[in-house]
Chain A
């Protein structure tokens, strides 16, 4: 059961990376089978302190992401439940065959934590920005592909999946997310969260775009529009029923993602609607571009990812 935070916009008081290291450390104390692998980004993810306490549970593989995925596969075969972390760009582009072969295809239990998602890589710039990963990962059969919205969700999801079998791709930012959920919320993987119900138009978002969608909804409501907002944090398997329901109910959908509009959330929703459902669609996301350096505010403006962009797209669709 989720509880939505209804106050004014604020940042979580805990960074996403801190959520990861804290929760993982706690889980490792409970179960000896949980291990974490890093590829020389341990300090970037605040896992260095955990390694000091638990040197036999946190292994720094060095700058060898492909080998790290293989090692995780082997550890899974020998009974461990490995988490592996690196930046989204390296985890996806660099390791796809390893994720296919050493993980998903042979059903090894691997949780990939892909951090610095999309434009949140900020000053690492275009080389470190992945706008493709969710599209790549949702092409793998029988895997779970998710994007974390805030710290409350991240904590609960990590707790839920730690000892689950299978392949999980978890995309996240590293710093403080905007607060969307109240503490104690429990998330159902594979289901979309209806954050706000409405009749005129539906905004389907994930990751950092959820709070932008909520902001846009507020503005539209001031003008008398009735807006539904859905957090589609699980991209695969996607919640088809919910998409169809809101396509039928509102007839207009806008998808909002910090990712290319190709193959990510926008495409996944379009696929569902094309087969069943009757609505018009607009996609907010990265359009045929690569990343660049900049502050998050600048990048969100530059790549047309702000609540203003969602608001304008909605007005156009509501015409």
Chain B
């Protein structure tokens, strides 16, 4: 999973660098959790993306699409070269995931707040049919501004849909700046507990911690699980971690060089 995380990070950077612009910060902060889900937890079948027994994944914070594409490509859903078609005219890899275009994408997202409701609907249908498939979703901390998320949480808790696990990418930044300055979320942990979830906070790059928390499905009596991932926007890429606003970056020549250096650095880590 650690290796997979490194490869996801390298390829996410490469695909964004190739394009010259995109959602760097929020793509990089979900790399580890994607590596855990696709590398060790979820039942998937790249040969048959619509396999009946698969676990579902919903990237509610759709703008992290590039990280998900790299993950899917590395797992064999489509050839790795395709990640360089990101956002090109006529592409199958649009900025935000589209289930009708990309193999392995279960849900089209991009209008914030909606992915979590759709994930909820999948979990509800599985629950009614008494199926064992699990549903995982990553939601953004800025996305928590949307009232619809809180509607979904009420529904999930009421029906005790503990076949679903929600990760909050708590990177503390949204497009226009710091969460606290725009809409202070106060304590996500307290709120989610009050909403009826088992809530834990884990370091966003703590692969073992994330894996241990989600490797086993919840037992019948347990509440649905809400994991606050304490992340950094641009996680794992030193240069971007230090930036004030990395939500959407457009590379000039200097920045391009810096990004290439970061890729090289990560690639040296392979040895």
Contacts and interface: CB of A to CB of B under 8 A. Distances in A.
Interface of A: 35, 56, 59, 61-62, 64, 66-67, 69-80, 82, 97-98, 100-102, 105-107
Given A106-B98, A107-B100, A101 B108 contact: yes
17 contacts: A62-B158, A64-B154, A66-B114, A66-B147, A67-B151, A70-B117, A70-B120, A71-B121, A71-B152, A74-B117, A75-B121, A75-B125, A77-B106, A77-B121, A78-B122, A78-B129, A106-B108
A101 B155 contact: no
B108 A67 contact: no
Nearest to B60: A70
A131 B148 CA distance: 25
Nearest to A82: B121
B99 interface: yes
B41 interface: no
Contacts of A76: 121
Contacts of A56: 128
Contacts of A106: 98-100, 107-108
Contact of B107 (A69, A74, A79): A74
Given A78-B122, A101-B111, 20 more contacts: A62-B155, A64-B155, A66-B147, A67-B148, A67-B155, A70-B120, A70-B152, A71-B121, A71-B124, A74-B118, A74-B123, A75-B122, A77-B107, A78-B56, A79-B125, A97-B114, A98-B117, A102-B117, A105-B108, A107-B100
B240 interface: no
Interface string B92-116: 0000001110000011101101101
Interface centre among A59, A61, A80, A98 (most CB of B within 10 A): A61
B100 A102 contact: no
A78 B108 CA distance: 14
A272 B108 CA distance: 34
A64 B151 contact: yes
Interface in B113-149: 113-114, 116-126, 128-129, 147-148
Contacts of B124: 59, 71, 74-75
A69 B179 CA distance: 28
B110 A101 contact: yes
Name the 4 nearest CB pairs between A and B, nearest first. A74-B121, A70-B117, A78-B125, A67-B151
A55 to B, nearest CB: 10
B154 A71 contact: no
Contact of A77 (B98, B122, B147, B151): B122
A47 to B, nearest CB: 17
A302 to B, nearest CB: 35
Contacts of B106: 77
A77 B128 CA distance: 14
Contacts of A77: 56, 99, 106-107, 118, 121-122
Nearest to B108: A106
Nearest to B122: A74
B93 to A, nearest CB: 16
Contacts of A61: 155
Contact of B119 (A69, A72, A74): A74
Contacts of B148: 64, 66-67, 70, 98
A64 B56 CA distance: 24
Contacts of A79: 125
A69 B98 contact: no
A61 to B, nearest CB: 6
Nearest to A74: B121
Nearest to A66: B148
Contacts of A107: 100
B114 A70 contact: yes
A77 to B, nearest CB: 6
B152 A67 contact: yes
A64 B150 CA distance: 10
B63 to A, nearest CB: 14
Contact of B125 (A64, A74, A105): A74
Contact of B121 (A78, A100, A105): A78
Given A56-B128, A78-B125, A101-B108, A73 B155 contact: no
B121 A72 contact: yes
B126 A78 contact: yes
Contacts of B126: 78
A141 to B, nearest CB: 13
Contacts of A73: 107, 114, 117-118, 121
B121 A62 contact: no
A82 B122 CA distance: 12
Contacts of B114: 66, 70, 73, 97-98, 101-102
A173 B87 CA distance: 45
A107 B123 CA distance: 19
Nearest to A108: B118
Contacts of B56: 77-78
Interface centre among B106, B113, B118, B151 (most CB of A within 10 A): B118
B22 to A, nearest CB: 21
